[in-house]
Amino acid sequence: MTEQKAYQDEQVFSLTLMANFVHQVVNPLNAVCGTLDNIVQGDVPVGTVKQRINASRSQIEYCVELIRNLAFLAEYTRDPVIYRQRHAGKVTVIPQVLIQAALFFQETGRKKQMKIHMVDRETQYKVNADPDLLRQVFINLFDNGVKYAHRATDIIVRTHIQKRTNDLLIEVINQSDPIPRELWEKIFEVGFRGENAQRLIASGTGLGLYICRLILSVYNGSITYSGARSSESIFTIRLPGAWA
């Protein structure tokens, strides 16, 4: 491949990614505008106004998180070394950030009869990481689960410290169509969307899982995918140097 061809391909990819990103942000905001118009015009039953406002708030929060994804990507790729230095020295408490991330999806989950269930909500695990960045990881994972997991199933979260390594292991498990083994690594590539994702939701940024891996790499962590059963998807996060 010539240098010119590689540059053209990169430009096409960037424009496609941006177009998908804008689409993902504009659609929920249009829905919020429609809801507010209906409330102002008195077209929404009084008993459902609060519910509609809460739903609109969730959509706005989702848009904010999409924008944060793009902002993180732009800042990190500009100078990874400076970015790592700027976000060093902070401590994250688990499950605090897990609970915060899960709150974003209460309304969406309710519509699909889904909930995010943490097996252990009491044990306070700590890791050297920026809580805002780790929260973004879990928001991306829960967003992925709520979008693609089977209706009326739970997203299960398990946490524990591995004694041999002192690594904190966090498993996010959902019931969804299996991903072929040859794609287990590919799903973390920027812009990649599998056939199942495209079938269920026509457009998407293809940034979520890529950014999960990128953020975790800032703290020498990792994320992997496996399909233990035909309908079970497991994302395993590993963060070093944890304590309780």
101 and 157 housed in the same domain: yes
Residue 83 lies in a domain: no
209 and 131 housed in the same domain: yes
187 and 116 housed in the same domain: yes
139 and 106 housed in the same domain: yes
Global pTM reads 0.79
201 and 99 housed in the same domain: yes
Residue 7 lies in a domain: yes
Residue 98: exposed, middle, or buried by beta-carbon count in 10 A (0-12, 13-18, 19+)?
buried
Burial 185-206 (b: 16+ CB within 10 A, else e): eebbeeeebbeebeeeeeebbb
137 and 232 housed in the same domain: yes
Tokens 């995918």 identify what position? 225
At residue 9, the pLDDT reads: 56
219 and 118 housed in the same domain: yes
62 and 182 housed in the same domain: no
Q: Tell me the sheet residues that pair with 229.
A: 232
Q: What is the pLDDT along the chain (244 residues), one digit of tens a residue?
A: 566 665 565 565 566 667 667 777 888 898 899 999 999 999 999 899 998 898 888 888 878 877 887 888 788 888 888 888 888 889 999 999 999 999 888 878 888 999 999 999 999 999 999 998 999 899 999 988 998 899 999 999 999 999 999 999 999 999 998 888 899 999 998 767 555 544 434 444 567 898 899 899 999 999 999 986 668 899 999 999 999 9
Tokens 């540059």 identify what position? 7
At residue 217, the pLDDT reads: 92
Domain that holds residue 17: 3-78
* Residues ≥6 apart with Cβ < 8 Å to 2: none
Q: What is the CATH number of the domain that holds 223?
A: 3.30.565.10
106 and 226 housed in the same domain: yes
113 and 14 housed in the same domain: no
234 and 119 housed in the same domain: yes
At residue 199, the pLDDT reads: 45
At residue 83, the pLDDT reads: 84
> How many domains does the chain divide into?
2
